[in-house]
Amino acid sequence: MPRHPEKGTEMSHFLDIHTTPQDELRAMIDQARAMKNARQGLPKGTPDAEQPLAGRMIALIFEKPSTRTRISFDVGARQMGGQTMVLSGKDMQLGHGESISDTARVLSRYVDLIMLRTFDEATLLEMAEHATVPVINGLTDASHPCQIMADIVTYEEHRGAPGGRKFVWSGDGNNVCTSWLHAAGQFGFDLTFTGPETLDPDAKAVEFARSRGSRVDIVRDPLVAAHGADAIVTDTWVSMHDPESARERRHNQLRPYQVNSRMMAEAKPDALFMHCLPAHRNEEATSEVMDGPQSVIFDESENRLHAQKAILRWCLGV
Ligand code: CP
């Protein structure tokens, strides 16, 4: 683990699930669940009993819109005694030609941790390379690891350990799907992708999951894919990084992969329905499924808070 050059304490970047040691991911999930349990029944603004982020300043930088990531990081850091600043990339010199490496070095003189949501994964990696404080991936076009850490917390609190279970991803093999594949490899579950060939998941992520012994199947028929699933997961048909011109074609391609009661009926009776949100209701999933008894979508949103608190602590070694 690298040392913080100024403070001499340990620090780690949280850039992706497949690049984070398996036992440390496990420890973060356990800590997230313990911290969540310790807060049961408390008003949201109540400080945690422990204040591990006291005296720490956290920069939350967004080059894309966000509701969950922005608010859950902000609230979570404050509950642990930290201070936060939410910044829009376009309002910084970063959005007007200042280099990423200079921005990283400057920010590192002011703040103790940088959370970045950006487009190109290369921007995140360059920020991490030049920052002397930890950097967290708050989503890039390539992956969304914080979301899937929250989703593992969610699955575990409803159904226990995900190891050996069958997760089905229906729709676009996008950045969220990539992080699910990384998690399959790290947490030992199988993943079946169902969607059109043109929107297949990232080949490297598939290879990673398989290299760790997870079974990854690609099945074009959504009802066949859903058979015997422990969880069915989907996401919007058009992601933030997709061109608006792709919308109509995407809808036509992905309509057969809508998660509806027919698809859920193919899964196990106790299968969960998962979606990271925001959703386009009655497009990628019907409202009947989203609001139905198998849906855990709002628990996933809540667990962003708890999972990211554990990630913040891990990054700072506190
Ligand atoms: N799921 C997710 O990352 O939500 P936001 O885009 O609202 O942050």
What averages of pLDDT result for each successive group of 10 residues across the chain (318 residues)?
48 95 97 98 96 98 96 98 95 87 97 97 97 98 98 98 98 98 98 97 98 98 98 92 84 96 98 98 98 98 98 97
Residue 6 to residues 55, 108, 112, 131, Cα–Cα distance (Å): 15, 10, 10, 12
Pocket probe for ligand 1: among 63, 139, 149, the residue whose CB has the most ligand atoms within 8 Å is 139
Closest C-alpha residue for ligand 1 atom 6: 66
- The pLDDT assigned to 10 comes to 62
| Active-site entry in 68, 144, 250, 275 | 144
The question of whether 117 is a catalytic residue gets the answer yes
Measured in Å, how far apart are the chain's first and last C-alpha atoms?
14
Q: Which residues line ligand 1 (CB under 6 A)?
A: 66-69, 139, 147, 276-278
Centre of ligand 1 to C-alpha 278, Å, is: 6
Summarised one tens digit per residue, pLDDT across range 140-150 is 999 999 999 99
Q: Which of 62, 68, 149, 297 to mutate to test the pocket of ligand 1 (most atoms within 8 A of CB)?
A: 68
DSSP designation for 90: G
pLDDT in tens, 245-256: 888 888 999 999
- CA nearest neighbour of 135 among 109, 159, 108, 161: 108
